[in-house]
Each structure stands twice: as C-alpha cells, then as structure tokens.
Amino acid sequence: MKKIYLDYAATTPLDPEVFNEMSIYMKDLYANPSSIHKDGIAVRKAIQQAKHTVADALNADGKEVFFCSGGTEATNWAIKGFAQAHLNKKRIITSQIEHHATLHTCKSMEEIGYEVIYLPVDEKGFISKEDLEQAINDDTLMVSIIWGNNEIGTIQKIDEIIEICQKHHVTLHVDAVQMFGQMEIDLEKLKIDLLSLSAHKFYGPKGSGVLYVREGLELKPLIDGGNQQNGYRAGTENVYGIIGFAKACELVKKKIDTYPRHIDMLATALYSKLRIAIPNLRLNGADIGNNRLLGHLSLSFSNCNSHDLAFALDAKDLYVSTGSACTSTSITKSHVLEAIKLDNHYATIRITFGIHNESKDIDDIADRIISSYQEVKN
C-alpha cells in the first residue's frame, strides 16, 4: 500500500527550499554570530535579517521577534517571564483545553503561589466571553489562550478575547503554533501582546521557535548567560534553525492563498465520504468552516478503542494520531476530550492534511479508515 501521512498537526516535513537555505549555515557559514571576524559578522547579519523576515510575515517589528527552541519554550517564557517582571499580580487565566506547554507551566505557577483560572469550554471547544470577563479582576496578571486547538481544531474567537483583554487592560498571550500558515496574522491589527510560534508546524525545522513580544512589554529572560538577542535569550544562537524558521515564514507568505484551500478541500471531501459510510461518526470541535483549523479532522467512532484503530490504520500505512503528539502514547483520556464531555464509548483519531496529500487519494484513505473501523469495533 502507498504510505499516506496524515499527521501534519504533529509535525510537517522540512521544505526542500528551507533545507537548502539552512545547509549554507551548516556547511559554509558556520561561524559563531558573536565572533567579530567577517564570517561571524555575516552570520549575525543573517540572524538580523531573519528577524525582519519573521516580523514581516506577522506585520510586526524585528525588535519584537525573539528566537527560541520551539513553541513550548516560547509559551513558558511568555508566562514565566511576564510574571517575573510583574510580581504584584498573581492571577493567570487560561482554558481547560490548552496545550500541555501552557497547562504544565500554569501548574508550576500554582506551586509558587499563583492562582490559575481554567475556563471551561462548550461541546465545540469554545470558551465563553462572559466567563472570561467574569474571571478578570484587579489581581489578574495575564490571559493565555490557545488560538487553534491542536487536538480538536477549534479556533477561538480571538477578536472577542482581544477586546475583553484590552477593555480591562490585561496582557494577552496567544499560543498560535497551529494557526500560522492557516491564515494571515496581522499583529498591527490584532492587539496581541505575546505570541508563540514553532517552525516545524509549517515546514520549517524542529527545535526552532519564536516568541513575539509587543514593543514596550516588560519580560524577564528564562535563560541567563551571554548577551545574545539583546540579553533576552542567552546562548549561542541556533543559526540554521533561525534561518530555517525565516525561510519557512517566507514560503508561508507566498502560499497563503493556495495552501489553506488545498488542505480544506481534502478534509471536507474525506469527512463527507466517512459520514455516509459511518452514520454515527462524530466530528469533535467546531464545525468545518471559519472557526475550525483547515485540514483538521478530530473523529470519534463508537464502540472501539482509539489505539486499536490507530494501529489498524498504521498496519495499512495510513499514519494518523490519537490526539496531541505530546500525549499520543498515553493510555489516559485526553484532557481536551474530557473538557468537551466526549462519551467514553467513543474512540478518537486525529487526521490532519498537508502539502503532500492529494485529492486522488481521498477514496483510498476513506476505504482504509472504514475497513479498519470494521475490524476493530466491538
């Protein structure tokens, strides 16, 4: 059987153009960017250019872009770094369906005396703007919200969240790891204060992330050491990771009018076929449309086990996940599925489309899923 990868929300393959750009800094321009000789200066200039490339993709300023090791570090830094710079406030507001980078960071903040409010979500995965507004008080440090949920695909109504945070003068951090590449993100229009990104979600390298910090916002560094990135993130820069991040951003901007439509068409076509063949199939999260990640299907099947279904599909060379890649090997139920109150009798897989998927394979994909379900259901 043809191998078909349907786990793009977990990671994407490295784009060949990104690799070619990175390879220059692996083989030839390998100097330390803190060195004062010609090659070191050339590498430092390349990093500065990369900042501006990323900033341009976000309609931001290069001074607001800080490179780090990925979305997890960016989110840790946003929450802990902001808290350390503003010790007078002790309430953090987030949701029950955040990525573990946020949830575990918030748990660690609770251990040192912070109060964390975990907003509930409805059956589609949306927080309530009334709940958010009621949770804000004079002691609120910040709000941290995942924009596009990695497990169920729900896109929060970010305009409403921004409006509430601005009304109450509360700092907003947004986990945009799944959103970048899905739509244009204009941070001149969207008044988000802190934003996390990870390159390997949009065909860049693993181990390369960005934290956007709106100019004028005070943030403490997580890592002490040298004066790299103006003293905000010490340690010799991951040069080829940074170059790869910037090149991937450049390619996203070029493909923003075609790529989202491509993966949306594939997901819509597959879901239509599966609904006919499996009448009790459930789509988790928001309905397909403007409030759902494009190319993302979180599907629940009655009377079978998630891992059994995933392994049956794996045997047919169809690669999906049972949820977040960070928790896919766990036998415990997903905190996201618990939050939307999914019945325990359902097994859930996550199918996410990407650049190498083709419309001609949709019938084959549907057949493999249907036959695998028939094999494993009770």
Q: Which pLDDT value is given to residue 329?
A: 52
Q: Which pLDDT value is given to residue 331?
A: 58
Determine which helix (DSSP H) or strand (DSSP E) holds 195, and give its type and residue range.
strand 194-198
Q: What is the pTM of this model?
A: 0.95
The residue behind tokens 């790869």 is 244
Q: Which pLDDT value is given to residue 318?
A: 98
Q: Which pLDDT value is given to residue 330?
A: 53
Low-confidence residues in the chain, pLDDT < 70: 323-332
Rg of the chain over all Cα atoms, to the nearest angstrom: 21
| Contact present, 99 and 9 (Cβ < 8 Å) | no
Q: Which pLDDT value is given to residue 248?
A: 98
Q: Which pLDDT value is given to residue 57?
A: 97
Q: Which pLDDT value is given to residue 326?
A: 52
Structure-block tokens of residue 175: 């986990």
| Contact present, 288 and 268 (Cβ < 8 Å) | yes
Mind listing the domains of the chain with CATH numbers?
4-12+257-376 (3.90.1150.10), 16-255 (3.40.640.10)
**Residues assigned a catalytic role:** 326
The sheet that has 65-68: what strands, in order across it?
65-68, 209-213, 194-198, 171-175, 140-146, 91-95, 115-119
Q: Which pLDDT value is given to residue 315?
A: 97
